[in-house]
Chain A
Amino acid sequence: MDFNYDDNQRMLFDMVDRFLTDKHDLVKREALLKDPAAEAALWREMAELGLMGAAFPEEVGGFAGSSADSFVVMERFGRHLVTQPYLYTAVIGGRLLIEGLSGDARQDAIGPVIAGERQLALAAGSTHMLRSAEDTSFTAAADGAGWTISGRMPVVLNGDRADRLIVAARTSGSTGEREGVTLFLVDADAQGVSRRSFRMIDAFGAAEVVLENVAVGGENVLGPVDGGVALVELALDHGVAAVCAEAIGAMEYLIPATAEYTRTRIQYGAPLAKFQVLQHRMADMYIQTQTAKSMALVAAMSLDGDAVERQRMISAAKVQVARSGKYVGYQAVQLHGGMGVSEELDIGHHYIRLNVINQLFGDSSFHLARFGALARPVAA
């Protein structure tokens, strides 16, 4: 057993960290959010560093990485409060392309993603934070050799910047059924697609997406017709592992930042750090983070294994990370007092992101239920 990064992962870590230390902090992020051209330029630079393909195998043009390599990237993104959509483009979108296409079609679709020329978004068709696809409200009807898709989704994460939308649409059966949902690769500029952009509370971009009789060719179907739900589940499990890593990056930053703040903030003639109640609070933040980190690593290492074990570990990790992230974020803000709720400090922004992560890709009640349904006696 080994819970440490290997040499390649160390190198990836150092590279990402150096890059972000140089290019990304709260002030620069504020500027980026107002400047789409600067955001696009940063995205291209990240692709030039090889980030987009870091976790992809060589056979699809990646850099011989494994799914676990996304952990390294996302953990650093979490630390540096990055709002660039690696998660939606490379982790979730990339996974759907890898699993849903083959041969030249796959190469053609993934190449531009790795090159940083194309962004992706999953439009799973419902109002939840990407939990599943069986309740999509998009519908697609066969139309000769192709399909015609219609529907509306109010909040598509990264829908504002995506060049290609991966749309989950019902092709047979009825809402809630696992069978009958098909995934389509839709050009965001296609006739009949309209979008209105905005931001989420954590500053990530999103858009309302409306599809009106959008025609797509048969070659744009990802995976089996009527069999899209399992594919989305797999991709979202990759998403869970990624945000668990991101949360660890945030938590491992918040603890020393809070400790440092309490060492320097004087009230009642002494540093706040002298109050034992606050010391214990920080010790609890540490305890919470350690258990969460173990599970985030387990999640990353379970991605490519047995499907049931993957789902169990992903769900266990999500629940633990949510619990820990909620505690650590809350206390980091609390111990900073008024400064904690100010937008000038990164502390509050991390707290917001940790809370959004809790809602993404199935919240705790979803994952507790899934874990329970798959439960088996704890094996040795």
Chain B
Amino acid sequence: MDLSIDDKVQALRQEIRAFFAKNLPPEFARKTLAGDKLTKEEHKQWHALLREKGWHVPLWPKEHGGPGWGPMERFIWEEESGMAGAPRLNHVSQDLLGPVLIEFGTPEQKAELLPRILSSEDWWCQGFSEPQAGSDLANLQMRAVRDGDDYIVTGTKLWTSYAHVANKIFCLVRTSTDGPKQAGISFLLIDMEQPGVTVSPIYTLGGMLSVNEVQIDEVRVPVTNLVGREGGAWDITKFLLGNERLMGAWIGVNMAFARQVRERLEQVGPDGRKRSENAVLAQRVAEVETDLVALRYTTYRVLADELSGKAPGPEVSVIKVRGGEIMQNLTELLMEMAEAEGMVHPLTMPHDGLPVVPFELEHMAQQFFDKRKLTIYGGSSEIQRNIIARRLLNV
């Protein structure tokens, strides 16, 4: 047993911190930490800055333009990015699709598509869920019917994050209705900038626009856009979801929230007293802080096992469930401590003079209600518990 982190990794942490201190535009960090969103242009600007350093695709191996980091280095990167308030870039392209293409793509697909992600030309979105396929993903209905060298694709994707800013979508499509449901699903790359593809926004709590409905109506997609073999999407999907398994802990982002919570607790409230004098509040803060420490070490424990060669298993479900719950608790505390100024609707605030409420407080309610999604998407908390019960407890 040993809690220390090796010197090389520590040095990387310092290097990342120094880089952020020097290069991360304070306005970007300020916005991210205050729960505001960056524009696509701002994201591209940050991407360009990271690109100079070679850190723009942190999950990729060296030969494809990434830093070639191992699991520990990637994790440290996540932690430090979150803590610094570095915007999370075009994540679907870089962290989800990129590694899939590197692992399963044809040489032509790699040659064409990876550089377009590296240059931030392509913004991909993930078309998995459908109206009738939420938790039960294998029930998806989007049809891809072979016609010569093309598939003709028809169907509806739901809850597609960032489809409104993306130009391409990777979809799970049904290429066969025979046999087990999973075996008839294929992984298809589709250009969104063509007739037959319609994106409609879905507004979520607090007036957020991040998810969409994507309708695809008789769109021709070349067979060369198939990733892996026909009917082979299930393994690719597992690989893809596995790649972000530790991200569900949101350690860095949670630590940034915890830092803000602690700062606000030590401030003087409107009644002229330090908030920490409120024993109930002080205890709630300490409780979630200890929850976060426990989650952080649980994540490190999974990571250490992985480094020693043990394949990570269903215990990552523990991390996903706790990561979401802790973030919900932290953002709730932030909202509560911001009191009335944190309860405003940011999209309705007047901009005709001095701000009505401080910038750091304006998004607190919206941010809290937006985090409600964390225990629903990417395998809900109920589904994670089913996994634990079935795969770890054999019940």
Contact status A129-B281, CB under 8 Å:
no
Using Cβ atoms and an 8 Å threshold, which residues of chain A touch B368? 355
Q: How far is the CB of B367 from chain A (nearest CB, A)?
A: 10
Contact status B344-A127, CB under 8 Å:
no
Using Cβ atoms and an 8 Å threshold, which residues of chain A touch B380? 334, 337
Docked pose: A126 CA to B268 CA in angstroms: 13
A266 within 8 A of B: yes
A364 within 8 A of B: yes
Using Cβ atoms and an 8 Å threshold, which residues of chain A touch B280? 364-365, 368-369
A343 within 8 A of B: yes
With A129-B339, A338-B376, A356-B343 given, can you name 15 additional A-B contacts, CB distance below 8 Å? Answer: A127-B341, A132-B271, A135-B270, A135-B271, A154-B356, A198-B345, A200-B343, A200-B365, A334-B376, A338-B377, A348-B369, A351-B205, A351-B369, A368-B280, A369-B280
Residue count of chain B within 8 Å CB distance of chain A: 49
Contact status B344-A200, CB under 8 Å:
yes
Q: Which of A201-209, A232-240, A243-251 contacts B (4 or more CB under 8 A)?
A: A201-209
Task: Write the chain B residue with the least CB distance to A195.
Answer: B350
Contact status B207-A343, CB under 8 Å:
yes
B232 within 8 A of A: no
Using Cβ atoms and an 8 Å threshold, which residues of chain B touch A274? none
Using Cβ atoms and an 8 Å threshold, which residues of chain B touch A365? 278, 280-281
A352 within 8 A of B: yes
Contact status B270-A268, CB under 8 Å:
no
Using Cβ atoms and an 8 Å threshold, which residues of chain A touch B158? 338
Pairs of residues from A and B, 10 with the lowest C-beta to C-beta distance, nearest first: A365-B280, A201-B365, A155-B340, A267-B136, A199-B348, A343-B203, A126-B270, A198-B348, A196-B350, A127-B270
Contact status A348-B205, CB under 8 Å:
yes
Q: How far is the CB of B387 from chain A (nearest CB, A)?
A: 13
Using Cβ atoms and an 8 Å threshold, which residues of chain A touch B203? 342-344
Within 8 A of B (CB), among A173-208: 175-176, 196-203, 206, 208
Within 8 A of A (CB), among B194-213: 202-207, 211
Contact status B345-A201, CB under 8 Å:
yes
Using Cβ atoms and an 8 Å threshold, which residues of chain A touch B372? 330, 333, 340-341, 348, 351
Q: How far is the CB of A134 from chain B (nearest CB, A)?
A: 8
Residue count of chain A within 8 Å CB distance of chain B: 51
Docked pose: A348 CA to B373 CA in angstroms: 11
Task: Write the chain A residue with the least CB distance to B280.
Answer: A365
Identify the B interface with A (CB < 8 A): 129, 132, 134-136, 139, 158-159, 202-207, 211, 269-272, 278, 280-281, 336, 339-341, 343-345, 348-350, 352-353, 356-357, 365-366, 368-369, 372-373, 375-377, 380-382, 385
Using known A-B contacts A135-B270, A155-B340, determine if residue A201 contacts B366 with beta carbons closer than 8 Å.
yes
Docked pose: A130 CA to B350 CA in angstroms: 22
Interface digits, A227-271 against B, CB 8 Å rule (1 contact, 0 not)?
A: 000000000000000000000000000000000000000111100
Docked pose: A279 CA to B382 CA in angstroms: 13
Identify the A interface with B (CB < 8 A): 126-130, 132, 134-135, 154-155, 157, 175-176, 196-203, 206, 208, 266-269, 275, 277-278, 330, 333-334, 337-338, 340-344, 348, 351-352, 355-356, 359, 363-365, 368-369
Contact status B204-A341, CB under 8 Å:
yes
Docked pose: A334 CA to B158 CA in angstroms: 17
Contact status B139-A267, CB under 8 Å:
yes
Q: List 12 A-B contacts (CB under 8 A).
A: A132-B271, A134-B271, A155-B344, A157-B340, A176-B272, A266-B132, A269-B136, A333-B372, A337-B135, A343-B203, A352-B205, A359-B343
Docked pose: A355 CA to B211 CA in angstroms: 23
Using Cβ atoms and an 8 Å threshold, which residues of chain A touch B382? 275, 277-278, 334
Using Cβ atoms and an 8 Å threshold, which residues of chain A touch B377? 338
Using Cβ atoms and an 8 Å threshold, which residues of chain B touch A337? 134-135, 376, 380
Docked pose: A351 CA to B372 CA in angstroms: 10
Contact status A196-B352, CB under 8 Å:
yes
Query: For A155, A338, A351, A355, which residue has the most chain B Cβ atoms within 10 angstroms?
Result: A338
Contact status A352-B369, CB under 8 Å:
yes
Using Cβ atoms and an 8 Å threshold, which residues of chain B touch A344? 202-203
Using Cβ atoms and an 8 Å threshold, which residues of chain A touch B136? 267-269
Q: How far is the CB of B278 from chain A (nearest CB, A)?
A: 6
Using Cβ atoms and an 8 Å threshold, which residues of chain B touch A269? 136
